[in-house]
Amino acid sequence: MALAFDEYGRPFIILKEQEQKTRLRGIEAQKANISAGKAVARILQTSLGPKGMDKMLQSPDGDVTITNDGATILEQMDVDNQIAKLMVELSRSQDYEIGDGTTGVVVMAGALLEQAERLLERGIHPIRIAEGYEMASRIAVEHLEHIAQKFDFGPTNVEPLVQTCMTTLSSKIVNRCKRPLAEISVKAVLSVADLERKDVNLDLIKVEGKVGGKLEDTELIYGITVDKDMSHPQMPKQIQDAKIAILTCPFEPPKPKTKHKVDIDTVEKFQTLRQQEQKYFDDMVQKCKDVGATLVICQWGFDDEANHLLMHRNLPAVRWVGGVELELIAIATGGRIVPRFQELTPEKLGRAGLVREKSFGTTKDKMLYIEHCANSRAVTIFIRGGNKMMIEETKRSIHDALCVARNLIRNNSIVYGGGSAEISCSIAVEAAADKYPGVEQYAIRAFADALDSVPMALAENSGLQPIETLSAVKSQQIEENNPHFGIDCNDVGTNDDMREQNVFETLIGKQQQILLATQVVKMILKIDDVISPSDY
């Protein structure tokens, strides 16, 4: 075993004859597990906060992703170690439940593991450390309730929601446009939210992107966009007060399920067959016209003859529309998806105030906008950007902002960001440690030190002196008894009050971070035997 140091002077262990060392037991297993967890946290630590760096991830087939979203980084990393996979699961569960704070929760877990390693070296049993962490997490969560503030907002006063979404977007690559993107996110959430039940169905918000234009061209569409165009270039490009037939049956003659053979040996037989096929198409188009449809959206394709007939009968049509898009169109327009032409009735038609085809740039890429729908609860955020990577990262950033707005509608309590909540919790946990007479008080103090890792990482990533900055803010909080002082990441000046800088985070998001990190660390501490398949 040899000890080496990285560029920051942090030690890491090199094991010789790695293939022969399969089974780890006791303290060695715990230290190896902690080391794996810390390694994952260290990767994400530099991407925390508004000045955090981005990671470039290359997949085995050469696709490149540039992001600083913790969940995405861990999702796309090829992780073999089982403990490291637990950290990946940790960030994924934070992403599923809250949608934001995926980097912070892993950094927090890494700091808890680092503190636990020191306690193990002092001879404290891992179960006692786990119990101490559990007590400390309860103290921290209760303290967050104590320092949280209610944020009042409504359909007319959305500024609090916008400010909170801006805090989320400030750490992303899209932070230069954070105000317009935050406003778009809030409008989208409010248009699909049920404020009485405090419920938001994010499935009704479709996020689409197209390369070209600039980020500022991103728009919110009160309806649905479909990446298709009219099936015939001479069909009308704009339809007012459209009545839409949504079909999952193709415009073609029925095919027999059995094997069949048709012998055509005369011109008359061929003409008869052609007329029969044309009659099928005629009947199908006529059925759509009879029920009053002015636009047909079909899941399947149709051949040139059907296309020609539709154009001549003045019935615009769109083909090859995906199943998910069909469902969203049906929700938005209040229509029903029809599987057979025989079932088509006027009541099953969807209604939209305007359907228009829009072309983009010099490439003349076309998209269909279905707007002013009967049920406008389905909306689309349409992103523009210089390249595919920019659009994908903007989608991830907007997803975080949508989740934050949804969380505020569910529970409108907020805490202040910039590490102020963690520093305040650290002070409260440190003060509470003296009340516990057992060995657990060491773990509680270690938990308080681990809470300081988030503001310290924020300061480090912002180019500040981490220890000096943290000490100054901590003493300021204690002196003035004000939990709103945090790390001035944006270098506004001497103004460390996060309330004045409008840096907020949701209470449930911050509580979830602490609870999830503690749960995973407790699980890792309780593993004392690592058995590989070769040991069976």
Q: Which residues are catalytic?
A: 69, 102-103, 400
Tokens coding 94: 């934070």
Structure tokens at 76: 């796309």
Contacts of 385 (CB under 8 A, 6+ apart): 209, 211, 213, 214, 215, 391, 394
Can you tell me which residue has the tokens 């934070």? 94
Nearest to 427 by CA among 485, 501, 468: 485
Q: What is the 3-state secondary structure (H, E, C) of 106-137?
A: HHHHHHHHHHHHHHHHCCCCHHHHHHHHHHHH
Residue whose entry in the numeric block shows the structure tokens 């630590």: 45
Separation of alpha carbons 223 and 205, rounded Å: 9
Per-residue b/e over 504-534, b at no fewer than 16 CB within 10 Å? Answer: bbbbbbbbbbbbbbbbbbbebbebeebeeee
Give CA torsion, residues 223, 224, 225, 228, to 10 deg: -130
Dihedral angle of Cα 271, 272, 274, 279, to the nearest 10 degrees: 140
The answer to whether 139 and 515 are in contact (CB under 8 A) is: no
Buried b (16+ CB within 10 A) or exposed e, 108-143: bbbbbbbbbbebbeeebebebbbbbbbbbbebbbeb
Please, is 171 exposed, middle or buried when counting C-beta atoms within 10 Å of its C-beta (0-12, 13-18, 19+)?
buried
For residue 193, give the DSSP letter: E
As separate numbers, helices (DSSP H) first and strands (DSSP E) second, the chain gives 16, 21
87 neighbors 105 (Cβ within 8 angstroms): no
- Helix (H) / strand (E) containing 207: strand 205-211
